[in-house]
Amino acid sequence: SSWISWFLGIKGNEYLCRVPIDYIQETFNQMGLEYFTETLQVILNPGFDSSLDWVFGDEEKWYGMIHARYIMSERGVDNMHQKYEREDFEVCPKLSCRQKALPVGPSDVWVKSNVKIFCPRCNDTQPHQRH
pTM for the predicted model, two decimal places: 0.82
What's the rounded Cα separation, in Å, for the pair 88 and 22? 24
* 3-state secondary structure at position 78: helix
Domain boundaries, the chain: 1-88, 91-130
pLDDT band per the 50, 70, 90 thresholds, residue 13 = confident
Q: How far is CA 16 from the centre of its chain?
A: 3
Number of Cβ within a 10 Å radius of residue 1: 13
Mean pLDDT of 35-54: 83
* Polymer length in residues for the chain: 131
For residue 55, what are the contacts with CB-CB under 8 A and spacing of at least 6? 42
Residue 107 has pLDDT above 50, yes or no: yes
Q: Provide, rounded to the nearest whole percent, the portion of the chain with pLDDT above 70.
A: 95
Residue 14 has pLDDT above 90, yes or no: no
Question: Domain 1-88 carries which CATH code?
Answer: 1.10.1820.10
